[in-house]
A = this chain, B = another copy of it.
Amino acid sequence: MSKPILILGAGPSGLAAAHALASVGQRAVLVEKEGRLGGAPILSGYAKLVPSGEWARDAIGGMVARVENNPLVAINKGCTVKEFRGEPGAFQATLSNGEMCQVGAAILCSGFTHFDSVNKPEWGFGTFPDVVTTAQVEQMISSGKGVRCPSDGRKPQRVAILLCVGSRDRQIGREWCSKICCTVSCNLAIEIREEIPDCHVYIYYMDIRTFGLYETRYYWRSQEEFKVKYIKARIAEVTSDGQRLIIKGEDTLVKRPITIPFDMVVHAIGMDPNVDNRSIASVFGVALEPHGHIGKGNAYGTFGETSRPGVFVAGAATGPETIDDSIGQARAAAMAAFAFVQQPAAPAAKVA
């Protein structure tokens, strides 16, 4: 029987990898730093997921239950990996709970960290209570409480969603695009309109990146069926007139300054590299790419290789990623790791 495979992180990627391995009879050791499995969709209380429309608690909750009930997966919650030594096919991991594991390979499914909007102070988060994040609106919806202004609990009549908060923004060191915020924001706008039909929802954007089949399902549907309005704009600041929030900026298409009142302003926050990436890279001996994500080899090889043979990576640990693609990558990396523990002979990957 081959040695177990260590999986770091129990979000959608880690859960998918663990399930994939167990489905072919391969043991896995799952290590999750939080006290609960599920990653961002569960811990941050996401509402309905893109593109399935299923509630996160059902979709990802189902993945959690399937792994928690699987005898081939050893689960360590509230736990980190302190040391990872040895050779490909014969690694020894020391966990923070004192356990030592002999493992044949590892898959890093350590995900991302939500951008903290206080790092974009001119857009009002932390100053005005009714400036919130997409994650907070997801929680309002998934909790059943509904979308309400935090300041006084009223139903907003006018909501603005600002895209690219912590993305495509060199001033604050986030040059990358976070890939899925556009589509998530279209989806959220639809959910707000479903709950509060007389609420006007505006999306302020640089480019709308509802790529592939999301174009029809989210961008067009949100406009035509749900009357969400899209405005290409440069936002200068979010202030208040004492009664309502005021968005100031420039409408890029009509080339005119805009000063528009809203009840609620939503930051579509991006995906930062996981705050633990330096420590993870150090413990596992893998290289980071220039932005601080975990570097991965080209896809043409065995998939999901890091710079260290026998250590694989998948999902948002490698850069902003959708849930579906994270799951696909994790299952692909699980396949690679499974083949590896049967015959560990891969050379080191060239990583980006």
User: Which A positions have Cβ atoms within 8 angstroms of B?
Assistant: 16, 20, 23-25, 51-52, 54, 59-60, 62-63, 168, 175-179, 207-216, 220, 252-255, 289, 291, 293, 298-300, 302-303, 319-321, 323-325, 327-332, 334-336, 338-339, 342, 352
Contact = CB atoms under 8 A, between A and B. Distances in A.
The complex is assembled from copies of this chain, and their number is 2
A291 B321 contact: no
A161 to B, nearest CB: 16
B335 A300 contact: no
B209 A211 contact: yes
25 contacts: A20-B332, A23-B339, A24-B342, A51-B352, A52-B298, A52-B299, A54-B298, A59-B300, A60-B300, A168-B215, A176-B212, A176-B216, A207-B209, A209-B209, A211-B211, A211-B320, A213-B319, A253-B253, A253-B255, A299-B323, A299-B324, A299-B328, A303-B327, A331-B331, A331-B336
A205 to B, nearest CB: 8
A52 B325 CA distance: 18
Given A62-B300, A210-B177, A215-B177, A325 B327 contact: no
Contacts of A59: 298, 300
B332 A211 contact: no
How would you classify the secondary structure of chain A's contact residues: helix, strand, loop or mixed? Answer: loop
A337 to B, nearest CB: 11
B175 A215 contact: yes
Contact of A213 (B176, B328, B332): B176
B211 A339 contact: no
Contacts of A60: 300
Contact of A216 (B175, B179, B210): B175
A224 to B, nearest CB: 11
